[in-house]
Structure 1
Amino acid sequence: MFDFFTPARANSILPQVRSKLVGILNQREKVLELQSELSLAIEENIGHEKFFRIKNQLNKSITEMYQQIEEIEKMGIIIKSFEEGLIDFAAKRFDEEVWLCWKLGEDKIRFWHRKDEGFIGRKPLSIKGTFDEDDLEDLR
């Protein structure tokens, strides 16, 4: 069942989400390495046996990565940038659907942005009147 995040709820599961994101980034690195290995093998005109061994490893790694991404997305969380470690949590600001924005390395979710804005449009959660005051208690 889909549910919107409050800042407090998003922060409460942040350790779990951080761990999942690190796992996805590690898996992504493995996929990139296997893609490079496969490209090099093709350039070197290797035999079919080695080609399919590498290709099968690549397929498995891609599948694992997408399964991990799917786990996060089922929670109402989307990875906006692998390179920057950006994640957005689906939220509501009064009646408007927005994103709570978090970047790998930050200790808490402290920013939000509208659906049509990105990282540059981040606004601090701590501005009075941006979210329900009860949801912001853990930011003080």
Structure 2
Amino acid sequence: MSVSVNKTFTLSEAQTLLPVLESLFRRARDSAQRAHNFEAEMQDLSQRIYLAGGMHVDVVAAARRRAERDKAAQLAKDTLVEIDEIGVTVQDFEEGLLDFPCQIDGSTVLLCWRVGEVAITHWHTADEGSEERRPLDARFHRTDRERPN
């Protein structure tokens, strides 16, 4: 797997974005969970209707719940697009893993951050998954002025 990247981040740039990205990611996760809960509620209603052989349903309330589900699902999608537009990839939605492309020694690698961590402390190559992430080394701590263009 090769990464096609338009934007890269220095470690300090990526660190600066963490509060914004954490807020965006939590909004996406919360919205996805709300959509899931609405969907489960609708499936439960369908199951009860089926088992009862039919029943009176408040169609307006059911339509409202469906609209709330759709709105929550769309907010989750839109928020993930917003994260992507920043130049950050959500590597694993369930685990809350985000990758920031970074140029090190002429190669693009991925700074790897898990939502809830205080700072970015790990990285991995584009060909590796997050399970192979390793601690940052001295190369990542050079100041922006020391980085080649």
TM-score (norm 2): 0.79
Q: What amino acid does structure 1 have at the position aligned with 2:74?
A: T
> Which residue of 22, 26, 33 maps to 1:22?
26
SS at structure 2 position matched to 1:98: strand
**How many angstroms apart in 2 are the aligned matches of 1:27 and 1:90?**
26
- Number of aligned residues: 132
SS at structure 2 position matched to 1:108: coil
Match of 1:117 in 2: 128
**How many angstroms apart in 1 are the aligned matches of 2:118 and 2:17?**
12
SS at structure 1 position matched to 2:72: helix
- Identity, in percent, stands at 27
Q: CA deviation at 1:49?
A: 3.9
Q: What amino acid does structure 1 have at the position aligned with 2:37?
A: E
**How many angstroms apart in 2 are the aligned matches of 1:18 and 1:132?**
22
Deviations 1:15-67 (A, max 9, x none): 11111111111112111111101111211224654443222211111111111
TM-score (norm 1): 0.83
Match of 2:53 in 1: none
Kindly report the root-mean-square deviation, in angstroms, between the aligned alpha carbons of the 2 structures: 1.8
**How many angstroms apart in 2 are the aligned matches of 1:121 and 1:64?**
31
Match of 1:133 in 2: 142
Range 17-26 or range 65-74, more displaced: 17-26
SS at structure 1 position matched to 2:110: strand
**How many angstroms apart in 2 are the aligned matches of 1:97 and 1:48?**
53
Q: What amino acid does structure 2 have at the position aligned with 1:110?
A: T
**How many angstroms apart in 1 are the aligned matches of 2:73 and 2:80?**
11
Q: Tell me, which stretches of 5 or more residues in structure 1 are unaligned?
A: 136-140
Contact between 2:91 and 2:98, CA under 8 Å: does it hold in 1?
A: yes
Q: Tell me, which stretches of 5 or more residues in structure 2 are unaligned?
A: 1-5, 50-56, 145-149
